[in-house]
A and B are shown apart, each in its own frame.
With several copies, the nearest count.
Chain A
Amino acid sequence: MALGNLDEIYRDDVILDHRRNPRNAARLKDADIAADGVNPFCGDEIHLQMRLDDGGRVAEVGFQGEGCSINQATGSMLSEAIKGLTLPQVEALSAKFHEMMQGPEPPDEMLTALGDLGSLSKVRDFPVRIKCALLAWSTLEDGVAAGRG
């Protein structure tokens, strides 16, 4: 495993931007899907809300969290990335994200395709922190699964 330089995750412009200016931070009232997640090992929290439009696409998202940089930045990126997607597309994106974090070394095209989220691939070099980037996604999946009934 390569040894990541701290700057890779703490001085990355995209991550820093999401950390400082979290997107969709307002709590959504009247959400169609809401989910809360907690990392049992550190106590970090994620709260997600989604409103779907008539076509079943994510129209609005709310994300609030308490936690470390990675956790917060991921939540913010996620809240942007899922807008406009259908629930199956949300799940596919989550699978893609998991693959980027835990699968074999991701190719550049994959990172580019993932947009801002691609910047989180650098967390791979800090293996204990990978779970910080996954919490928002597993919370999202729980919400989608529960929302489906």
Chain B
Amino acid sequence: MYDVQKIRKDFPILSRKVYDKPLVYLDNAATTQKPRQVIQALVDYYEGYNANVHRGVHALSQEATERYEEARGKVARFIGAESPDEIIWTRNASESLNLVAYTWAQENIREGDEIVVTPYEHHSNLVPWQKVARDKGASLRILPMREEDNSLDMERVDEFITPRTKLLAVVHMSNGIGIINPVEELARRARAVGATVLIDATQSAPHLPVDVQGLDCDFLTLSGHKMLGPTGIGALYGRREILERMEPFLRGGEMVLEVWYDRATWNDLPMKFEAGTPNIADAIGFGAAIDYLEAVGMENVRDHEIALTAHALEAFKELEEEIDVFGPRDPERRGAIISFHSDIVHPHDLGTFLDRDGIAVRTGHHCTMPLMRELGVIATARASCYLYNTEEEIDALVDSVKRALRYFSDGAG
């Protein structure tokens, strides 16, 4: 049985008050809270065995190295990678994407090639490709969106994924409006034309089971802080054959085998892509976050969030006149992210109102400006849930939104 109250007890911050009201944290698409198990993993590291990894003969270094590499193994297993060597530590998903853009893409994209993305891309899965396209004389193609439910128009995919497609770089779950894209199908089509496939799973992997073999992708990105882990640690999955053929990205200590004044040779995977002292503590913390998620079970997380989504969509129906909720109505086709807009009150003013009720939502473009333009708005208010959120919290949100609408339609807006 999924016991959300028991889960909540693991998160110290959830008992915090904001303006004397209980914190209702619904900003999980931006970053998630951390269970005490993760915080304790950091404390244990710094109090017990902090040392630089890989190069030390002493006991602390040995212990740190073991726990650090163990964490890499956890990430590998969590997404179904064949080997921990296919997991490169990065700072965040943005760095993971830039790594591919600066290496694989610079080496493989040529004039006339096309890079296919969706309208939902986070800036971090768009702006790096803009540079690649400009540097190489390639172009970006944007898959078309259907007006009705803001989902991809799968019937027109063949116009966009063609033999000219060299890279498909698509977001799995949109942080902007919560939609889940049919990435398996897109990957299949891209493979059929010989393209390389990158999946931005930054927003999906925290909330549903993700498996790189099932998705049949070449690259996949993760950010630890979006899945109960510490800030400052992310990962790039890369298929071994591809990583082995790639040039390194950052250069320096750890990633080399031998160095002379005028040249150097590279270390094996995964170190080849990791220059300098890694973020040891947070990698271990990320491992602890994965332990936590696996103990709860990703299927259970997903089921809980589907139920929350259904509850929220139902509750927002009452406000249909005043509020547009973006994305499909079917909770199976989306994450527990409710992104909405009202002409009565600007999202910022709404955000301030909710904040005073202790409710944390995000307002703005969510780093998806092109998507906002497609939706015809400058910004939305976005409530995003995680495994510790409850239906009562959704109710508190909806109640507060209702009062805000009254408050601002009384002329304040």
Contact = CB atoms under 8 A, between A and B. Distances in A.
Chains A and B share a contact (CB less than 8 Å): yes
Interface of A: 3, 6, 10-11, 16, 19-20, 38, 40-45, 66-71, 126-129, 132
A38 B412 CA distance: 24
B62 A127 contact: yes
Given A10-B407, A128-B61, A41 B54 contact: yes
Contacts of A66: 378
A38 B57 contact: no
Residue with the highest number of chain A CB atoms closer than 10 Å, among B58, B372, B413: B413
Contacts of A71: 348
A19 B346 CA distance: 12
A40 B266 CA distance: 9
B179 to A, nearest CB: 20
B353 interface: yes
Given A3-B19, A42-B379, A128-B62, A69 B54 contact: no
Nearest to B377: A43
5 nearest CB pairs, A to B = A68-B348, A10-B412, A42-B364, A68-B346, A43-B365
Contacts, number: 72
A68 to B, nearest CB: 4
Interface size class of B (residues with CB under 8 A): 20 to 34
A41 B363 CA distance: 9
Contact of A42 (B19, B271, B353, B365): B365
A10 B267 contact: no
Interface in B341-389: 346-349, 352-353, 356, 363-365, 369, 372, 378-379
A40 B256 contact: yes
B3 interface: no
A142 to B, nearest CB: 11
Given A42-B379, A128-B56, A10 B408 contact: yes
Contacts of B54: 41
Given A10-B407, A40-B258, 19 more contacts: A16-B411, A38-B258, A40-B257, A40-B267, A42-B55, A42-B363, A43-B365, A44-B378, A67-B348, A68-B346, A68-B347, A68-B348, A69-B412, A71-B348, A128-B57, A128-B58, A128-B65, A129-B57, A132-B348
A86 B258 CA distance: 31
A129 B365 contact: no
9 contacts: A6-B353, A6-B356, A10-B412, A38-B258, A44-B348, A69-B346, A71-B348, A127-B66, A129-B352
B348 A43 contact: no
Given A43-B379, A67-B378, A6 B352 contact: yes
Nearest to A72: B346
Contacts of B379: 42-44
Nearest to A11: B412
Contact of A41 (B19, B55, B356, B378): B55
Nearest to A15: B412
A66 B413 CA distance: 13
A38 B364 contact: no
Given A45-B378, A128-B62, A129-B57, A10 B363 contact: no
A68 B378 CA distance: 10
A42 B412 contact: no
Contacts of B365: 42-43
A61 B82 CA distance: 36
B348 A6 contact: no
A101 B407 CA distance: 26
Nearest to A20: B411
A16 B55 contact: no
B411 A42 contact: no
Contacts of B378: 42-45, 66-67
Contacts of A44: 348, 378-379
Contacts of A70: 348
Residue with the highest number of chain B CB atoms closer than 10 Å, among A40, A66, A71: A40
A38 B352 CA distance: 20
Contact of B412 (A16, A40, A128, A132): A16
A6 B400 CA distance: 14
Nearest to B62: A128
A94 to B, nearest CB: 17
